Copies of this chain bind each other. A is one copy, B any other.
């Protein structure tokens, strides 16, 4: 139980006041910003998320805005996913790789118009990579971090809550599409997306002064829906196989190793940095890949480092996220497993801090 030392460098968000009033108990740091991790308890927060609706301060999903005539060309340079068919109003999950095919980030690209994009980033300063590329390639595009802070509404009652605030038409927003709505007389982008499998939305709040008014409005509107402040659930996201950049993948990994091969159109994504490096792995396949792993026994301790995975004393992979799942009554985990042991139901052993545990590799997550 160690404290976090506050400083300006660990940036507060437009919703921090609300988060504190809701009794946040723990944080992580994500893109140099505070991200709540616990309100009541990991398990209580998890059960509530699956039953009701939560409002999440995910301001730390910072945006990188691309504006200008070369914005579309730049976006395609950044990802092996073929974006030619993408229309304004769509969101796309886009692996971003360096020249060796190593993952730099796994953001959601939001196409506002042909010459304006937001890239909603995971935990690395993707802004720096993009600015460097733009500088070196002399592209005609402005790149910066706008004053936009996502607020996620997640859980089975998310549609009901948002319909009360923005009208019933939010129910018609399709998955990974967004619409433009009004709040306090100004446009606000609302997408059907979010870092859980419980359904919901992400509201891209432009202008930090609009943060707390929207926060309060949502809580007023949702009282009888049992709305609460929440945050991405470490348990639920592992059950659902939602990867975390920095935890389950780093720049050592290709998208194919991360199971993101379906988002790589290596043959048609012309101009993508790292394409050459990925062509071979796209053809031959990776030698290790992300897998679900069920770890036996009592609830595991916190997974704050790589846990090696063995078979007959030979290292065959590693676990990078793990938690006890109350609903599935097992320890759920995410790891990278070598092809010799990645088939469904393969028995392995995981070296946890409190000893070796039998475990089972699974092809499917718990959904």
When A10-B28, A12-B305 are in contact, do A38 and B5 touch as well, CB less than 8 Å? yes
Q: Does any Cβ of B come within 8 Å of A84's Cβ?
A: no
Q: Which B residues touch A8, using CB under 8 A?
A: 246-247, 303-306, 320-321
B5 with A26: CB separation less than 8 A: yes
Q: Which B residues touch A3, using CB under 8 A?
A: 1-4, 25-27, 38
Chain B: CB-nearest residue to A29 = B29
24 contacts between A and B (CB under 8 A): A2-B24, A3-B4, A4-B4, A4-B26, A4-B27, A4-B29, A7-B28, A7-B303, A7-B321, A8-B246, A8-B247, A8-B303, A8-B304, A8-B320, A9-B28, A9-B244, A10-B304, A124-B125, A125-B129, A128-B128, A129-B132, A133-B135, A135-B136, A136-B137
Q: Does any Cβ of B come within 8 Å of A355's Cβ?
A: no
Q: Does any Cβ of B come within 8 Å of A123's Cβ?
A: yes
A124 with B132: CB separation less than 8 A: no
B123 with A32: CB separation less than 8 A: yes
Chain B: CB-nearest residue to A3 = B26
Q: How far is the CA of A61 from the CA of B136 in the complex (A)?
A: 26
Distance of A249 from chain B, by nearest CB (Å): 10
Of B135, B302, B320, the contact of A132 (CB 8 Å cutoff): B135
Q: Quick one: CB contact mask for A242-258 with B, threshold 8 Å, 1 for yes?
A: 00111100000000000
B2 with A26: CB separation less than 8 A: yes
Q: Does any Cβ of B come within 8 Å of A98's Cβ?
A: yes
The chain A residues found within 8 Å of chain B, CB to CB, are: 1-10, 12, 24-29, 32, 37-38, 98-99, 104, 123-126, 128-138, 234, 244-247, 273, 302-306, 320-321
Distance of A324 from chain B, by nearest CB (Å): 15
Q: Which B residues touch A26, using CB under 8 A?
A: 2-5
B304 with A6: CB separation less than 8 A: yes
Chain B: CB-nearest residue to A32 = B246
Find the residue from A4, A8, A320 having the highest chain B CB count within 10 A: A8
The 8 closest A-B pairs by CB, nearest first: A136-B136, A132-B132, A9-B246, A6-B304, A125-B125, A29-B29, A128-B128, A128-B129
B2 with A4: CB separation less than 8 A: yes
Q: Which B residues touch A302, using CB under 8 A?
A: 5-7
